[in-house]
Amino acid sequence: MNSQLRHLPQIDTLLQQPPIAQVVAAYSHEEVRSALRLTLDALRDDILSGAAVDLPDFTSEGFARTLADRIEATRQPNLRPVINATGIIIHTNLGRARLAPEALQAMRDIGARPSNLELNLATGKRGSRYDHAEALICQLTGAEAALIVNNCAAAVVLALMGTASGRKVIASRGELIEIGGSFRLPDVIAQSGAVLKEVGATNKTRLSDYADAVDEDTAVLLKSHTSNFRIVGFTSAPSRTALAQLAAERDLILMEDLGSGVLIDLSPFGLRDEPVVADILKAGVDLVMFSGDKLLGGPQAGIIAGRADIIAGLRKHPLLRALRIDKLSLAALEATLRLYLPPHDPLSRVPVLQALSQPLAEVEVRAQKLAASVEVMNGVTASVTPSAAYVGGGSLPQQDLESVSVVVVCDALSPEALGDRLRGGVVPIIGRIHHGKLWLDMRTVTDDELPDIVAALGAIATS
C-alpha cells in the first residue's frame, strides 16, 4: 500500500509530460492542475482504504484523454434542461412553467438587439419598462392599472411597503401561509415595516373579527390564497365582497396575495379552487398579486393588478428599482399574455395549460409509445399504468389530474439506482419512486422528449 502511495507522482512533474502539456495548451493550467489534483486525491483515498488500485500510466495518451474529458465535463453548463417526468406540471425545483415558442422568440429578439425598454418611441423621450405589458394585463383582468416586478414575493412586499409601512395589516389566522423557500407571510409583513394584526381562528374568521380589529392605524386588509394546503370541515371566511364593503366603509385597502393567478376559468378541467383574477377584482379587491410562472404559464414575474391610484403610488416607491423585472422576462411575459387574446386559444398555446388540459387519451398514446420502445430492450421492462398528476407550484393541492405513467423496472438496478442513473444522464430525466417502482408520468413529458427517454433507457439496458 505504502509503495503504491510512493508511486503517485507530483503534479508539477505530471505537468511536464508531453501528453498532459498538450491538454494544458487546449485548456488552461489551472483546470489541468485542478483535474490532476482531484484524480490523485481519489487514487490516494482508494489506496488508503485498502482497495486494490490499478495505477494508470500517467505518461500515456489515454491518461491525458481522461484528464481532458474530466475538464470538458466541468465546462458544461451547470444549469441545463431536464425532462420532467414527475407528473407535477409547475415544479418549482425544475424551473416552473415551460415557455411558449412565442415567449422564447421574444426573449431572443429582445436579448439579441437593443430595444425600446425605457424609450418612448412616439416622443423620443424616456419611457418606462412598466408600460409595455400594463394595458394587456388590464385588458385580460379588468384591472385599472398593473405593475410588474421580479416575482410574486416581491409584488407582495412592494404592495405592503407602499401602502402599510408603519401601519397595521389585518389578516386571518387561517391564511398566514408559508410557501416554499421560507416565504412566511407574517415575516414578510414584518419586513415590509407594517404591523400584523391577526384575527379569527385557524378554521373560522368572521367579518366582525376584521371589523372589530380596525382602528385608525389600520391601512390594509390582507387576504391570501391558501394555495398549498386546505383546511376542511368546520370552516368559514367572509366573502371578498363583504371584505371589500368593509374596506370601502373604513377607507382601507383590500389586497389579496393570490400566488398562482389564473386568467381563465379552469373548472372544466376539474380545477375548481383557483379563482380567476378578473373575478377577484370584480368582487371589489383593490389589489391582487400573482406570479408570472405558475398557472399563467410565463416567465418568473410578479404582477400587481388593481386600483390605479394605489398602483401610481407603488410606481414611485424608492425600492421598486430593487425589485424590477428584467427585459428578457418582460419580453416573455408580454408574448405569453398575447397568447390569451382572441382569436388565440390559450389552452392550446400556453404549455402549462396544454399540459393540464391535454386529453387523457393523448397522454396514454405517449405512454404506449414509450412502453413499445422499451419492449425491445434487454433487462428493462415497462408497463403503462394510470396515475395522478398535479398542477403544483403551490396551486390546487388536493386536486389531481388523471394521467398515465410508464413504470420502468430494470433487472440489474434497484428503483432508486435506476432513478439515479436516469437523473445522471446527458439529458437528466426526473421521475418519481412510487409503490417501490420508478414511475415516469407522461402528462408532464412532451412527444419531443420521448427519444431522449428511449435513448437513456437504451443505454441502461445495454450496459
Ligand X SMILES: *Cc1c(COP(=O)(O)O)cnc(C)c1O
Instruction: Return the H-helix or E-strand segment holding 254.
Output: strand 253-259
Closer residue to ligand X (CB): 197 or 225: 225
Is residue 444 within 8 A of residue 89, CB to CB? The reply is yes
Q: Is the CB of 238 or the CB of 392 nearer to ligand X?
A: 392
Residue 133 has, within 13 A of its CA and on its CB side, a CA count of 30
According to the binding rule CB under 6 A, does residue 172 interact with ligand X?
no
Verify binding: residue 257, ligand X, rule CB under 6 A. Answer: yes
For CA atoms 454, 457, 460, 461, the dihedral sign is negative
With respect to ligand X, which residue has the nearer C-beta, 179 or 244? 179
174 interacts with ligand X by CB under 6 A: no
Q: Is the dihedral of CA 418, 424, 429, 433 positive or negative?
A: positive
Spatial separation of the C-alpha atoms in residues 218 and 146, rounded to whole Å? 24
Which residue number has the CB closest to ligand X?
Answer: 259
Per CB under 6 A, the segment of 136-144, 255-263, 280-288, 376-384 that binds ligand X is: 255-263
- Determine, following the binding rule CB under 6 A, whether residue 205 of this chain makes contact with ligand X: no
Report the candidate in 206, 275, 287, 274 with the shortest Cα–Cα distance to residue 242. Answer: 206
> Does 90 contact ligand X by CB under 6 A?
no
Q: How far is CA 253 from the centre of its chain?
A: 30
DSSP H or E stretch at residue 84? strand 83-84
- Using the rule CB under 6 A, which residue among 145, 179, 333, 337 binds ligand X? 179
Q: φ, ψ for residue 270 (rounded to 5)?
A: 85, 5
Whole-number Å distance between alpha carbons of 246 and 227: 24
Segment interacting with ligand X, rule: CB under 6 A, options 132-140, 254-262, 323-331, 426-434: 254-262
Stretches 4-12, 118-126, 221-229, 400-408: which one binds ligand X (CB under 6 A)? 221-229
- Nearest CB to ligand X, comparing residues 84 and 405: 84
Distance CA 328, CA 99 (A): 12
Kindly state whether residue 291 participates in binding ligand X, applying the rule CB under 6 A.
yes
- Minimum CB separation from ligand X for residue 17, in Å? 51
Q: Shortest gap between Cβ of 149 and ligand X (angstroms)? A: 9
Rounded Cα distance, 361 and 52, in Å:
55
- In whole angstroms, the minimum distance from the beta carbon of 412 to ligand X comes to 40
Q: Which residues in 136-165 contact ligand X (CB under 6 A)? A: 151-153
Contact map string, positions 222 to 251, toward ligand X, x by CB under 6 A: --xx-x------------------------
The count of chain residues that interact with ligand X, using the rule CB under 6 A, is 14
Complex with ligand X: residue 183 or 269, whichever CB lies closer: 183
Nine-digit cell string for 258: 393570490
Q: Tell me how far, at minimum, the Cβ of 172 lies from ligand X, in Å.
A: 14
CA separation for the pair 261, 294 (Å, rounded):
7
Is 192 among the residues that bind ligand X (CB under 6 A)? no
Smallest separation (angstroms) from ligand X to the CB of 459: 36
Regarding 373 and contact with ligand X (CB under 6 A), the answer is no
Cβ contact 90:395 at 8 Å: yes
The answer to whether 298 contacts ligand X (rule: CB under 6 A) is no
Q: How many CB atoms lie within 10 A of CB 45?
A: 11
Q: Are 255 and 288 in contact (CB under 8 A)?
A: yes
Query: 331 pairs with which residues across the strands?
Result: none
b/e burial code for range 129-165 (CB count within 10 A of at least 16 → b): bbebbbebbbebbebbbbbbbbbbbbbbbbbbbbbbe
Q: Does 91 contact ligand X by CB under 6 A?
A: no
Nearer Cβ to ligand X (214/330) = 330
The H or E element containing residue 410 is: strand 395-410
Smallest distance, Å, CB 222 to ligand X?
A: 11
| Residue whose CB is less far from ligand X, 50 or 181 | 181
Q: Does 394 engage in binding with ligand X (CB under 6 A)?
A: yes
Give the shortest CB-296-to-ligand X separation in angstroms: 10
88 part of the interface to ligand X, by CB under 6 A: no
Q: For residue 376, give the 3-state DSSP assignment.
A: coil
Q: Specify the stretch interacting with ligand X by CB under 6 A; choose among 83-91, 252-260, 309-317, 446-454.
A: 252-260
Q: Which residues lie near ligand X (CB under 6 A)?
A: 151-153, 177, 179, 224-225, 227, 257, 259-260, 291, 302, 394
